[in-house]
Amino acid sequence: MTSTADKLETIHSVSANLEAIFTWDYERSREPLVKLYEKAKTSQWNASTDLDWSIDVDPERVGQELGGGGTLRFQALAEAEGSPVRHFGDKEWTQVAVELQNSLLSQFMHGEQGALLCTARIVETVPWIDAKYYAATQVMDEARHVEVFARYLDEKLGRQYRINDNLKGILDEILRDPRWDIAYLGMQIMVEGLALAAFGMMHQVTTEPLLKKMLRYVMSDEARHVAFGVLSLQEYYKELSDAELRERQEFAFEVAQRLQRRFAHSEMWERMGVDPQAIYRVMDEVNPPAQQAFQTLLFSKIVPNCKKLGLLDASGGWLRDRFAEIGVIQFEDWVDTGEEYAMLDEVAKDRETASA
């Protein structure tokens, strides 16, 4: 039987002072958003029927594929003086691989619930009818994403992790802010942009068929979500003053830094009896190449999207300088998500082929 205290631990509330915005202008005037809405309506998929949940999954094999690459980021820490993982042998590193992939997928699950709440907020607060229409379809997408990650963790891997403190802080901050565009910038551009890059890496390395197909479906949705953020904010940010743009730059960079910390997986180290703060200290001292490569690649979607929004070079290039300092500015000319519509057809074609 679950106690009242246990139930309370599963509930987290965030207070916000917001205005619900109606619009009596129903004219479909934003053609790119109209097209995106039409695309969203035909790209819905059913997690119960479009994925084969009868597939057997070996958690250790998934761990070696997904978490195994992650252990390379941390194994270099074992050589550092005073490292809390110096005593780790093959058994411990195998456990790290398994726990790491459970932690990784758990944080994506929690992040998807954050996206669910943020997108519901966008429906309520955005002043344009075309954006309200599209955001309503994304609410359904995000609910489906929470569903599939939770089901995969429960049925196939058998373990979930609590939400990472850095991710929780980011979601809380986004949801507390009354400005409607901050939900777009924080979630659609930053959190979803990083998730899209991470999903792409995971999709490339895993051979587990259920997870691979699940990630491909989720990625198709996510590319559309980030494109929604880019299309909406491009228009709105043209109207903002330099001071207002600087506020958005500072917010974006703060979120970027906290997202980097998220992938230190403090909750995993706690479960393994290792002090996360000790891991942080050694990571800052050693900064292994594998860790640098992993963290910088996560920004391969964020940086070009920020450039397309005009945030890189606003306020005298303040955000450009900050991204250069953390070593991710090289992604500025990579393809932004708005140019990735081709991948949105993949799910629809797969479903049409399957039903033929």
pLDDT in tens, the chain (356 residues): 444 444 447 889 998 888 999 999 999 999 999 999 999 999 999 999 999 999 999 988 888 887 666 677 788 788 888 889 988 988 898 888 889 889 999 999 999 999 999 999 999 999 999 999 999 999 999 999 999 999 999 999 988 999 988 899 999 999 999 999 999 999 989 998 888 888 988 899 899 999 999 999 999 999 899 889 989 999 999 999 999 999 999 999 999 888 877 777 888 899 999 998 888 888 877 766 666 677 777 788 889 989 999 999 999 999 999 999 988 899 999 876 656 554 544 544 555 555 54
pLDDT reported for residue 67: 63
Q: What SS3 class is residue 48?
A: coil
Q: Residue 29 corresponds to which tokens in the numbers above?
A: 């005037």
Distance CA 159, CA 56 (A): 16
- CA pair distance 182, 175, nearest whole angstrom: 9
- What pLDDT score does 290 carry? 64
Q: Which two tokens stand for residue 199?
A: 């999903």
Copy the structure tokens of residue 99.
């726990």
Domain boundaries, the chain: 29-355
Question: Which CATH number is correct for 29-355, 3.40.1350.10, 3.30.56.10, 1.10.620.20, 3.30.465.10?
Answer: 1.10.620.20
CA separation for the pair 180, 237 (Å, rounded): 12
Q: What is the pLDDT of residue 8?
A: 44
What is the predicted pLDDT for the residue at 256? 86
Question: How far apart, in Å, are the Cα atoms of 341 and each of 43, 188, 189, 335?
Answer: 12, 16, 16, 11
Q: Which of 333, 347, 319 is nearest to 255 (CA)?
A: 319
- Number of Cβ atoms within 10 Å of the Cβ of 292: 13
> pTM for the full model?
0.89
User: CA-CA distance, 251 to 249, in Å (whole number)?
Assistant: 5
Q: Encoding tokens for residue 294?
A: 């992993």
Count other Cβ atoms within 10 Å, centred on residue 102. 24
**CA dihedral over 165, 63, 219, 290, signed as positive or negative:** positive
Task: Provide the 10 A C-beta neighbour count for residue 224.
Answer: 23
pLDDT at residue number 353: 57
Predicted confidence at residue 119, as pLDDT, reads 96
Q: What does the alpha-carbon distance between residue 239 and residue 310 come to, in Å, rounded to a whole number?
A: 12
* CB-CB neighbours of 58 under 10 Å: 11
Place of tokens 């730059």: 249
CA 328-101-186 angle, 5° bins: 45
**DSSP E strands, the chain:** none
